[in-house]
Structure 1
Amino acid sequence: MDSILNATADNPVPGNHFAGFLEGSGGVKIRYAVFRSNEREAKGTVVLLQGRSECIEKYFETINDLTARGLWVATFDWRGQAGSDRLIPGSRTGHILRFSDYEADLSLFLEKIVLPDARLPFFIVAHSTGALVALSQAPLLENRIERMVLAAPFIALAGQSMSQRKITVIARLASLLGLGKHTFRKGDPPLDFAHNIVTSDPRRFARNAAIFAEHPELSISWPSARWLNETLKTMARVTHQDHLTRIRIPTLLLCPTRDALVPRKAIGDLARIFRAARLIEIDGARHELFQEADRYRAQALAAIDAFIPGSDAERTGLGA
């Protein structure tokens, strides 16, 4: 048993790593881990940014895939979830005060952990909300990050009972009226495979469910009104042409075509006005590409292999 990271029966902690806690913006404790490749020459470091409600443990398989390719992986839990500090004591609500706090935590992680302790060059691989943070922060990351891979970026809402416009208005009003810590739903999200909308793979779904069953302290419930308000404002800002023209980091957009949470059209529209980006659609895949069935997940990993230039890093001497 790792003292900071948690193993389950079919999800062992990858070896050759160090883990700890970073003081994030405002003194919030952020759990992080860095996983070294066993390859003699490192090809660089992937900064792996998870989605809302996820945890480092959920990415052990993907971390092993990346380190086997000669890449180090540096990752952390977002504030308010998993092994990082909760923002509403005694509550499992997913909450944040300001979206910029996510960005500040990413900047601190890069400055305090990745830059001094990992291997150049640096890349970002981000999923969903993590991809939204990366998009928002990208204009300031040009001198640190070589390339970005954004999987199912959380840039719009799909599959809701009301329009995104109405949700935006309600979330904003709730925040203004002091109800920002409240959620719009009761109970917990369903945990059975039959009702899940994020993966078609029963084995990986069961593995991830076991993580939260054995370590319930890592789980969170529905997002707060404040979280929604802050996130929706960020979506509107980062999908605007003015913001996208400021991003010069070469970016790969991975779009699962059966995503029930992020509209396929929204990612296609983003790709058309995002000059630094290239779009790859993975036909038939659902939202959580890295937790999907092998036939979809392998396409995502192959796209990353082709896009993140490990061999180029070695030729320029940056892999040392």
Structure 2
Amino acid sequence: MNDLLIVVPENPPPEGMKADLFQTKDGVSIRFARAPGRGAEKHGTVVILPGRNEYIEKYFETANDLTERGYGAAILDWRGQGRSQRLLPDANRGYVESFDDYVRDLDAFFEQVVLPDCRGPYYILAHSTGVLIALLAAPMMANRVRRMVLCTPLLGLPVSPGTTRWVSHFAQFLYAFGFGKMYMPGRRNRMKMPEFSPAALSSDPQRFARNRATVSAWPGLAINGPTVAWTRAMFLAIERVTDPAFAARIHIPSLILSAGADRVVSNPAIERFSRQLRSTSLLTIDGARHELLQEADLYREQVMAAFFAFVEGTGDINF
């Protein structure tokens, strides 16, 4: 079902990539794609977990890098975004009731696609919101996933603790009064198809233009800002994951990559969290912005080198 992939000249898919749909237990249709590793040496499969308002096509380049190295790549669109089923009549709204729904989607992805159809061992490569989902799922994935590389985790906002508490309480207040499906105030038109600017999430104009061309070809890939319910669910998920008792249940060896110039997530929160985990190391890519896998070569090559060194056990990071 390759018609499920949006292909533009600027963004070709990896060789052999195929897309399809699977159904979750609660009846949501989820789009996924798989690409086989190339060459005689096959290392296993990397499961790519995108962030909020992302989609499979945004990771064609990363999947191609993996398959050229001999890894298979598997990726999904989270419910409510990309070409997975939207959850509200207004398909532009970023909505979910609980991040546990994302965790169940990931579990179904493993059960229906990854374990039966993809070569092991399995690794996770996640970005931002995808990292938060991976961490929530980590206790149940300990026997499935060998290692995780977690890019710019969504573990806090780059604002003061007081502002964070105010936004969290405001989302809780609005949700309690039945406004969960409403956009968070001020967030309606955020991040759908912005122009390149000094505030862009990547400093690379070519990759930024490539991703924008993909969304221009099929605008339904992207969503607008998060709803009250999504924002509330995000804060609850962060609170859960960063609780020391929960963190103690995460045993998958992990490498966290933070971006030195990140304006989307809190680097101090990432540093605090990384110190809680025994089997985790933290590496900061100085000067990079939030979207490490969409960044300029200067930064992105460091990310991919760190990924391969970590998962292949050839670097300094050993547990």
Q: Is 1:248 aligned with 2:244?
A: no
Q: Deviations over 1:259-288 (max 9, x none)?
A: 001111111111111112100110000000
Mapping of 1:132-147 within 5 angstroms? 132-147=132-147
Q: Is the 8 A contact 1:6 1:13 kept in 2?
A: no
The equivalent residue for 1:125 is 125
**1:228 CA displacement:** 0.5
Work out the number of aligned pairs and report it: 311
Cα distance in 2 for residues equivalent to 1:236 and 1:282:
26
The equivalent residue for 1:315 is none
| Unpaired segments ≥5 residues, structure 2 | 315-319
Q: Is the 8 A contact 1:244 1:275 kept in 2?
A: no
Cα distance in 1 for residues equivalent to 2:102 and 2:198:
30
The equivalent residue for 2:235 is 232
Q: Is the 8 A contact 2:2 2:19 kept in 1?
A: no
| Unpaired segments ≥5 residues, structure 1 | 312-320
The alignment yields a C-alpha RMSD, in angstroms, of 1.7
Q: Is the 8 A contact 1:44 1:310 kept in 2?
A: no
**1:309 CA displacement:** 1.9
**1:98 CA displacement:** 1.6
Q: Deviations over 1:160-183 (max 9, x none)?
A: 998111110011111111100111
SS of the residue corresponding to residue 115 of structure 2 reads helix
Q: Is 1:10 aligned with 2:38?
A: no
Aligned letter for 1:3?
A: D
Q: Deviations over 1:187-240 (max 9, x none)?
A: 343611115431111111111111111110101000000000001111011012
Mapping of 1:1-320 within 5 angstroms? 2-158=2-158, 163-183=163-183, 184-185=185-186, 186-189=188-191, 191-194=194-197, 196-309=199-312
TM-score where L is the length of structure 2: 0.94
Structure 1 consecutive aligned stretches of length 4 or more whose deviation exceeds 4 Å: 159-162
Cα distance in 2 for residues equivalent to 1:269 and 1:162:
17
Cα distance in 2 for residues equivalent to 1:77 and 1:175:
25
Cα distance in 2 for residues equivalent to 1:160 and 1:188:
21
Q: 1:76 to 1:40 in 2, by over 3 A?
A: same
Percent identity between matched residues is: 42
Cα distance in 2 for residues equivalent to 1:160 and 1:200:
25
Aligned letter for 1:124?
A: I
Q: Is the 8 A contact 1:197 1:260 kept in 2?
A: no
TM-score where L is the length of structure 1: 0.94
Cα distance in 1 for residues equivalent to 2:282 and 2:313:
20
When structure 1 is superposed on structure 2, of 127-136 and 10-19 the one drifting more is 10-19
SS of the residue corresponding to residue 194 of structure 1 reads coil
Q: Is the 8 A contact 1:155 1:235 kept in 2?
A: yes
Cα distance in 2 for residues equivalent to 1:10 and 1:269:
39
